[in-house]
Amino acid sequence: MKKKILWIVSSLVLFLLIGLTVAGNYFYDVAINRSNEAVELYGGTEEAVEAVSALEEEQERLEELRNWTSKRDFQTVEVQSEDGLTLRARYLENESPNGKTVILAHGYKGNSEQMPEITRFYYEEGYNILKPDARGHGKSEGDYIGYGWDDRLDMKKWIDLLINEKGQDTIFLHGFSMGAATVLMTSGEDLPEEVKGIIADSGYTSVDEELAHQLKYLYRLPAFPIMDITGVVTKVRAGYSFKEASALEQVKKNHLPLFIIHGDKDELVPTEMANRLYKAAKGLKELWIVPGAGHTEGFTVQEEEYKKRIKGFIAEAMKS
């Protein structure tokens, strides 16, 4: 009888482990593995969906941006990552340079051809602009998504390229969503003095917390044990763990001026994450919770105020 009970328990444990392993690999393939397919993400209520629909209806403005972009002379530049990947970016040299360069970091499943509005803003202000494709995105190599963690080391490569090959001595980092997490994670690294400040729009505290947030609302599942198993799978297949990929811990080591921007209607990356990031950050820092803005909608919802605050932050950063 005891042997039978032991066999039943052992079988149940084995089936449970197999099931969790299958689930971990499934969620890895959905969230981490490279894919050109769109991925469903939790972004809140219908109100957020309606805001996106309103943006899609602005065809005239989008067409104007496309026309502006098509007339700019973007160059393709490359760097090699520490693990041997060829990473590519679009570089735009300003015809009337102000002596500053900005690196724009896109979001999850995005690419360097996005962010046309902020690109035009910086260009019209006289900035040279570098727009990398993150590893696992666009024209860059890589078979997994780093959510900003491995990307922080890639960002250092792009900074070195700007300094060593382009002769730039005043560099700002500006990221959106996953790109915001990337520049926040980069902030905790030992960066050259040419980097003067960091702007993070709609960034998350850590990969662990953001994926747990998505798991809860998309699949109605608790973080434990799925996140733990998926984290192990990610460590084996991609080489990093969810818990170590923390923007929150990185900003504690940051010494550069930091501007955190977040919409008060953001449910894709909860607004409270911005408050925690701001509280954890050291040194010169600024927080702007944009009224009425959803995820990465700050520029669209309050364009003139956004521009004014960016220019003000950069002016202060240059004094420090």
The verdict on residue 53 lying in a domain is no
Give the model confidence (pLDDT) of 26-76 as tens digits.
668 778 888 756 556 656 544 444 444 455 567 888 889 999 999 999 999
pLDDT-derived band at 228, boundaries 50, 70, 90: confident
Examine the domain organization and report whether 105 and 12 are in the same domain. no
Examine the domain organization and report whether 25 and 87 are in the same domain. no
Q: Which pLDDT score, from 0 to 100, does residue 44 have? A: 55
**Is residue 78 classed as helix, strand or coil in its secondary structure?**
strand
- Residue 89 pLDDT greater than 80, yes or no: yes
Examine the domain organization and report whether 177 and 221 are in the same domain. no
201: domain CATH number is 3.40.50.1820
Examine the domain organization and report whether 123 and 140 are in the same domain. yes
Residue found under tokens 């260009």: 123
The verdict on residue 51 lying in a domain is no
The verdict on residue 40 lying in a domain is no
CB count in 10 Å sphere of residue 137:
24
Lowest mean pLDDT among 13-22, 126-135, 142-151, 210-219: 13-22
The verdict on residue 22 lying in a domain is yes
Nearest to 243 by CA among 206, 216, 274, 276: 206
β partners of residue 199: 174, 259
Examine the domain organization and report whether 218 and 287 are in the same domain. no
Examine the domain organization and report whether 108 and 164 are in the same domain. yes
Pull the structure tokens for residue 160. 């070195």
Q: Which pLDDT score, from 0 to 100, does residue 156 have? A: 98
**Is residue 108 classed as helix, strand or coil in its secondary structure?**
coil
The verdict on residue 315 lying in a domain is yes
**Domain total of the chain:** 2
Residue ending a domain, among 243, 260, 290, is 243
Query: Considering the chain, what percentage of its residues have pLDDT values greater than 90?
Result: 72
149 residue type, one letter: W
Q: Which pLDDT score, from 0 to 100, does residue 166 have? A: 96
Task: List helix spans (H) across 71-129.
Answer: 116-124
The verdict on residue 189 lying in a domain is yes
Q: Which pLDDT score, from 0 to 100, does residue 28 have? A: 82
Q: Which pLDDT score, from 0 to 100, does residue 215 have? A: 87
β partners of residue 74: 92
Query: Considering the chain, what percentage of its residues have pLDDT values greater than 70?
Result: 84
pLDDT-derived band at 6, boundaries 50, 70, 90: low
Q: Are 111 and 183 in contact (CB under 8 A)?
A: no
Examine the domain organization and report whether 62 and 106 are in the same domain. yes
Owning domain of residue 191: 58-206+245-319
Examine the domain organization and report whether 95 and 230 are in the same domain. no
Lowest mean pLDDT among 8-22, 104-118, 261-275: 8-22
Q: 167 burial class (0-12, 13-18, 19+ CB within 10 angstroms)?
A: exposed
The verdict on residue 49 lying in a domain is no
Compute the mean pLDDT over every residue in the chain, rounded to the nearest whole number.
88
Examine the domain organization and report whether 212 and 307 are in the same domain. no
- Residue 198 pLDDT greater than 50, yes or no: yes
Examine the domain organization and report whether 26 and 149 are in the same domain. no
pLDDT-derived band at 136, boundaries 50, 70, 90: very high
Residue found under tokens 């309606």: 50
The verdict on residue 301 lying in a domain is yes
Examine the domain organization and report whether 187 and 311 are in the same domain. yes
124 residue type, one letter: E
pLDDT-derived band at 273, boundaries 50, 70, 90: very high
